[in-house]
Structure 1
Amino acid sequence: MSNWPQSDNNLFSSSLASYLDRKILILLRDGREFLGTFRSFDQYANIVLEGTSERVMVGNLYCDIPLGLYIVRGENVMLIGEQESNEEELPPYMTSVSAAEIKRAQKADKGAMRRKMEFLDFD
């Protein structure tokens, strides 16, 4: 006889199946964030999202870029969390901008980071 809890509910709540048909946020190993409705998964934890958008944040700016139906490879997933629809997602100081504006901000941010790192000699 094992000492493991025998409740089926415990097993179900700890699996990916508990997120099916719910709005979720996925954080990838490379730092990208995806929001969408969790529709399916397989034995490798590859995930199918419907109505997906990528949330890009630079400083106090953010943009949700629509992607549609999207497959996320399971080995890249770091974190999965359910979105509560009645909950405020972002702090009030964050400002929503267009995709073009967030790309300009990303480019400027990369330039600033390069300037900060100039003292390193990568050659």
Structure 2
Amino acid sequence: MAKVVEKKKKESILDLQKYLDKPVRVKFQGGREASGILKGFDQLLNLVLDGTTESQRDSDDPSKLSDETRSLGLVVCRGPAVVVVCPADSMEPIANPFLQQE
């Protein structure tokens, strides 16, 4: 008889459900930043943003953002490249999911 093994469903560390259809700001590895309306996500933090604009880097100082932006429209962001996701209008503290409770 074959033994049935159930796979445990992967859960996302972050719950982005409350940010769906709201503006968010995303920072990526390598320093790029974009803003748009969060339309979807998965447990790997792949994101779908609509009405996306990318903030351009200052040509004199690449560590700073300039006032220039570039319209990208509908974008799929790869989860492994995402460093920060935050609401566009404010910040909100979250509990550390890696902190061990005693």
Distance in 2, Cα, partners of 1:61 & 1:78: 20
TM-score, scaled relative to structure 1 = 0.54
Instruction: Name the counterpart of 1:61.
Output: 66
Structure having the higher strand fraction is 2
**Contact 2:55/2:66 (<8 A) preserved:** no
Instruction: Name the counterpart of 1:119.
Output: none
Give runs of aligned pairs for residues 33-48 of structure 1, distance below 5 A. 33-48=33-48
Output the aligned Cα RMSD.
1.8
Shift of 1:19: 1.4
Q: Residue deviations 1:60-117, cap 9 Å, x none?
A: 73211000000000010000110129xxxxxxxxxxxxxxxxxxxxxxxxxxxxxxxx
Instruction: Name the counterpart of 2:99.
Output: none
Q: Residue deviations 1:31-69, cap 9 Å, x none?
A: 000100000012221100000010013057321100000
Distance in 1, Cα, partners of 2:89 & 2:48: 19
TM-score, scaled relative to structure 2 = 0.64
Distance in 2, Cα, partners of 1:68 & 1:48: 11
Unaligned runs of 5+ in 1: 1-13, 86-123
Structure having the higher helix fraction is 1
Ranges of 4+ aligned residues in structure 1 off by more than 2 Å: 59-62
Distance in 2, Cα, partners of 1:21 & 1:56: 24
Three-state SS of the structure 2 residue aligned to 1:15 is coil
Give runs of aligned pairs for residues 108-119 of structure 1, distance below 5 A. none
Distance in 2, Cα, partners of 1:83 & 1:44: 21
| Higher gyration radius (CA) | 1
Q: Which has the higher contact order (CA 8 A, sep 6+)?
A: 2
Three-state SS of the structure 2 residue aligned to 1:30 is coil
